[in-house]
Chains A and B, each alone.
Chain A
């Protein structure tokens, strides 16, 4: 675990060494948003395969998006952004709102968001039970038989991926079991497992399998990064407006994502943080400061005795 306390190293802590012969190549997703058509097959396939409960049937009025964000019951989330910007724009070219004399300033960005399976994962670092762990594929998974619902991983994730599953009580719940189950019927945190069970069986994750345009590509991370670089170069040559890779850099604040993206605008446009940093990066200094503060409490309270008993 200590390697996560150092500067990012580019490989996930305690992996693959701890797996010995069972270690596998690091697997991940490359989500190319330029070919996403917003069909939400990934959301549905994920729900079906992972038996995720329904989490509210609502109309948000936010384009075609009705799931809004990743949470305990949404592990793939398709974002829809309607923009008054042109899809293609060559160097030196300008656009007008009415499209006169240039490209039409209208595009529809769609992006299937997912857990990033960070190289330096804040959720994994802070989990006090060891429920969150690094698999032999280099992915980050919650062991639901161990999670006690402490909730520390929820605010520790720079992307707001993890959440506690809250289910309404059902009239069928045994009355005696209610106090033992805490306040909710579930009470544990849930997130994308990168279909750990399917990977174990040699299959690709359900979302990637269902994606009809190969916007979600699954594979060995090193290979995906190479493929993404080539795709980025092609888009730049073709004059797309604003293509960039997000999370493909092993030197970023979380050591690179296991599931990274090709975006067409700033990350925050899609609801993603522009410069995510794993909280534990600052922990060595924070621990030193905490120890000093503890010593100061001891010394300070002891000093209060200098004036005598009265």
Chain B
């Protein structure tokens, strides 16, 4: 029995089988071996966020990139696309804060979000961005429909277009800035992934609502955004390694598969037939919108699954400790 390593000994012990002489000094927890945990209980807490949050990631994304689509369409004189993306953006921009307030444990205290501005809190920064974007988009849309106060409308459109891009990407920073391994370790991808997803959904929604002859830019934004989002999803899952395995499992896996299939087929349909066929545009746009909603759900659920298993915390951090020790012995 003495030819066994301490790790093998500990495995034998955990299996309930007897083991022989062991040097128990120090730890037997090493990478790739049996890991110690406290009755398998989680170390970090699962988020307490409700279904409103992934829906908000989606509506906030639509609102963010729609503002840009609308702004550039206005500048290039594509007024039909400008109007449809303005209205879509405004609806998404109005739905977003309602979803967020509804998620609060104390919704009546939602104004407390504006007591402070904290650069250390992506949620604080994001609340201010959303307030700005939401107010500007709603104002611009109302004035567009009523045809009054043109200068105010233009000012609101400018504010909306400028606050759109950060609205599209800050949610990625928000979840990356946590102790949840699958979010935290993906901090280099998440803002980009959410940004691409935002462009895809805003483009798809505008393509659905705009006549074919004016919908070209929206369609191209949907196709390009989808392609980048698909690529970044693959990159993120690959780079996460063991931590990323939650994207293959459970609800995160299920939503992830739907996201990939729907987004890829929707984007392909838009690219191949969207220019001529209204039906293909409608089907493709709807598929991209559904696919990207599933993507937000997949990322959301992955965080819960990652928090639930202490392995992801312990193995990631043990590896970090080992690397640091090797760097400075």
Are A126 and B121 in contact, with the CB atoms below 8 A?
A: yes
Q: How big is the B interface, by class?
A: 35 or more
Are A160 and B42 in contact, with the CB atoms below 8 A?
A: yes
Q: In residues 1-42 of chain B, which contact A (Cβ within 8 Å)?
A: 13, 18-27, 29, 35-39, 41-42
Q: In residues 101-155 of chain A, which contact B (Cβ within 8 Å)?
A: 105, 122, 125-131, 146-152, 154-155
Number of A-B contacts (CB under 8 A): 319
A27 to B174, CA, bound (A): 31
A184 to B314, CA, bound (A): 33
Which residues of B lie under 8 Å from residue A276 when comparing CB positions?
A: 179, 317
Are A188 and B19 in contact, with the CB atoms below 8 A?
A: no
Are A269 and B120 in contact, with the CB atoms below 8 A?
A: no
A53 located at the interface, meaning its Cβ lies under 8 Å from any Cβ of chain B in the complex? no
Listed stretches B91-99, B210-218, B277-285; interface member: B210-218
Chain A residue at minimal CB-CB distance from B116: A130
- Known A128-B116, A147-B106, A294-B166; contact A300-B225, beta-carbon cutoff 8 A: yes
Q: In residues 149-196 of chain B, which contact A (Cβ within 8 Å)?
A: 164-166, 168-170, 172-174, 176-180, 183-184, 187-188, 191-192, 194-196
- Known A126-B177, A158-B179, A282-B187; contact A294-B169, beta-carbon cutoff 8 A: yes
Q: In residues 60-109 of chain B, which contact A (Cβ within 8 Å)?
A: 64-65, 68-69, 72-73, 76, 78, 81, 103-109
**Mask of B112-124 contacts with A, CB within 8 angstroms, 1/0:** 1101101111111
Chain A residue at minimal CB-CB distance from B18: A97
A95 located at the interface, meaning its Cβ lies under 8 Å from any Cβ of chain B in the complex? yes
Report the minimal beta-carbon distance from B213 to chain A, rounded to whole angstroms: 5
Which residues of A lie under 8 Å from residue B119 when comparing CB positions?
A: 1-2, 5, 287
A192 located at the interface, meaning its Cβ lies under 8 Å from any Cβ of chain B in the complex? no
Are B113 and A293 in contact, with the CB atoms below 8 A?
A: no
A129 to B46, CA, bound (A): 21
Are A297 and B65 in contact, with the CB atoms below 8 A?
A: yes
B221 located at the interface, meaning its Cβ lies under 8 Å from any Cβ of chain A in the complex? yes
Are B106 and A149 in contact, with the CB atoms below 8 A?
A: yes
B54 located at the interface, meaning its Cβ lies under 8 Å from any Cβ of chain A in the complex? no
Which residues of A lie under 8 Å from residue B195 when comparing CB positions?
A: 293-294, 296-297
B238 located at the interface, meaning its Cβ lies under 8 Å from any Cβ of chain A in the complex? no
A174 located at the interface, meaning its Cβ lies under 8 Å from any Cβ of chain B in the complex? no
Are B214 and A309 in contact, with the CB atoms below 8 A?
A: yes
B224 located at the interface, meaning its Cβ lies under 8 Å from any Cβ of chain A in the complex? yes
A241 to B35, CA, bound (A): 19
Chain A residue at minimal CB-CB distance from B321: A275
A18 located at the interface, meaning its Cβ lies under 8 Å from any Cβ of chain B in the complex? no
Which residues of A lie under 8 Å from residue B303 when comparing CB positions?
A: 155
**Mask of A289-310 contacts with B, CB within 8 angstroms, 1/0:** 1110111111011111101111
A28 located at the interface, meaning its Cβ lies under 8 Å from any Cβ of chain B in the complex? no
16 more contacts with CB within 8 A, not counting A89-B25, A147-B105, A294-B170, are A1-B119, A69-B41, A125-B118, A126-B120, A148-B109, A151-B49, A157-B179, A162-B45, A163-B45, A163-B48, A273-B179, A275-B320, A300-B228, A302-B72, A305-B72, A310-B214
Residues of A bordering B, CB below 8 Å: 1-2, 4-5, 60, 62, 65, 68-69, 71, 79, 81, 84-86, 89, 91, 93-97, 105, 122, 125-131, 146-152, 154-164, 180-184, 186-189, 241-242, 265-266, 268-277, 279-280, 282-283, 285-287, 289-291, 293-298, 300-305, 307-310
Residues of B bordering A, CB below 8 Å: 13, 18-27, 29, 35-39, 41-50, 64-65, 68-69, 72-73, 76, 78, 81, 103-110, 112-113, 115-116, 118-124, 127, 164-166, 168-170, 172-174, 176-180, 183-184, 187-188, 191-192, 194-196, 198-199, 202-203, 212-218, 220-221, 224-225, 228, 275, 303, 307, 310, 313-314, 317-318, 320-321
The 3 closest A-B pairs by CB, nearest first: A149-B105, A187-B105, A271-B38
